[in-house]
Structure 1
Amino acid sequence: MRISARNSIKGTIKSITKGQVNSEVVLDIGNGVLLTSVITTHAAENLKLKVGNTAWALVKSTEVMIAID
């Protein structure tokens, strides 16, 4: 896989919760850390995502914000 995004995180698909429009995909990226992404259900089906498969989270953003209470 070749892509311009510099931030890619490899993980194992832990769960997929499909909705009519969007699906929630949870990746286990190791050390007890879970990463959750919401993608279209069409994309999840097109990628043939399945629990237990390897996938990459690709992060492309101009900024990452942090907030506290």
Structure 2
Amino acid sequence: MSWPEGRDPLEQLTLLGADWLRVLRADPGLSARFLPADWPAARSAAVYRRCFDALLLAGQRRLDRELAPAVPG
């Protein structure tokens, strides 16, 4: 999975994390045996992980640039 060019990866990681927390808060946290067979927890986690992995390297690079000491010019 690739991420759209021109989008700020740190912003996207932050939004992804906020959305994921919302999903986790809505999940009842019950054992799988008490949930319907089509409960989307595993699929949701897989989508989150793919998106996170797609953004991680670009996000790390962006953060490194932001935190790098200014080079005197």
* TM-score, shorter chain, exceeding 0.5: no
Q: Choose between structure 1 and 2: higher helix proportion.
A: 2
TM-score (norm 1): 0.21
Per the normalisation by structure 2, the TM-score is: 0.20
Give the strand-richer structure, 1 or 2: 1
Larger Rg: 2
